[in-house]
Structure 1
């Protein structure tokens, strides 16, 4: 392993540890020491890669966001557009332990964004990326004739709003909203716009 590869591996380990610690105890309670211990590195090495908690938090959020979408994309249009969109919706809801951790990070970001300009800009940037992710799937479906022509930007805003609202209910373990209900609610809302059946696609 080269020096550059070792540095990259260490950076990845630190970011993974930071995501886990922030999700576990919240950003306001973390220290660089706690993250270093969790990552199995020295505090000095942690500071070599990230000199402030704020930079570490921003990088951890970006890392978490990238990991979320890594395995849920549609390689070269290999599945129907409806299935690709359903996969995206699954990744945008707290559907398993890993995604619940991601949601905890998002909740930390929402809180920080209320009083920190850098966090606010980061949140808006990540939402822009989510819009682009949803929009690309919808545009492919329109181009292939699978979806009805529609206002892609408006639909993206609707999808994100539904995922945020229902995702919060899932994080709260609200007995009125389970995963199947959340998925069905989102799909029934957007299906008429897309001109597709209102049953959530099974192949996800």
Structure 2
């Protein structure tokens, strides 16, 4: 069902962009695929189950896009920044709003909260490991890897909220994150070695 899953995840993405979280239904998701609503219910009992699977899909996508297998910690860290902000600059439509709507449901939906927590933990772990490796190799200035990871995750999430609520360009948050990493770790985002 791998291809079917990918098609369903794409349908959720398109339905979220078009209708937002509040107006999202199983039928509207089915309308964006060649599957029936009954077929969706066969694989996923509820809209919430579909959205949990979608959040896991988003987490897997980010992990697959980030160059985590590179031996070079700077390449890995640059990959994190590029993956997050290149995607944010591409998805300036309704998707960021729909994703924020899902995040807003987390205080009331334990399953969403757990999926979002897992995504956050994966993201922070990836950043912290790259920072730790860079410090160990003498590539980065000494810093607290977990503190750096927390700042990057917090700034990224805050930037997402500012984009949706205030119309702020994701490039502003990218500049903030890059400036922080430059001053904290000594990376030159304007120099060579960019991914």
The TM-score bracket by the shorter chain reads: 0.7 to 0.9
8 Å CA contact 1:14, 1:39 repeated in 2: yes
Q: Is the CA contact (8 Å cut-off) linking 1:147 and 1:196 kept in structure 2?
A: yes
Give the Cα–Cα distance (whole angstroms) in 2 for the partners of residues 107 and 122 of structure 1: 14
For normalisation by structure 2, the TM-score amounts to 0.84
Aligned to 2:36: 42
1:190 aligns with 2:181: yes
Q: Alpha-carbon deviation of 1:113?
A: 0.8
CA–CA distance in 1 between the matches of 2:170 and 2:30?
36
The CA deviation at 1:161 is 1.3
1:70 positional shift: 1.8
- Tell me how far 1:102 sits from its aligned partner: 5.8
Do the aligned residues in 2 keep the contact of 1:89 with 1:163 (CA within 8 Å)?
no
Separation in structure 2 between the aligned mates of residue 100 and residue 90 of structure 1, nearest angstrom: 19
2:32 aligns to what SS in structure 1? helix
1:118 to 87, 102, 111: 111
Matches of residues 52-71 of structure 1 in structure 2 within 5 Å? 52-71=46-65
Who is 1:88 aligned against? 80
Gap regions ≥5 residues in structure 1: 1-6
Change (3 A) 1:119 1:178: closer
Q: Do 2:16 and 2:95's aligned partners in 1 also have CA atoms closer than 8 Å? A: no
2:2 counterpart of 1:8: yes
Distance 2:36 2:28 in 1: 10
- 1:27 and 2:18 equivalent? no
Q: What are structure 2's unaligned runs of at least 5 residues?
A: none
Aligned-pair Cα RMSD in Å: 2.4
CA deviation string 1:78-125 (max 9, x = no partner): xx433321221222231213x866634531222111222222222222
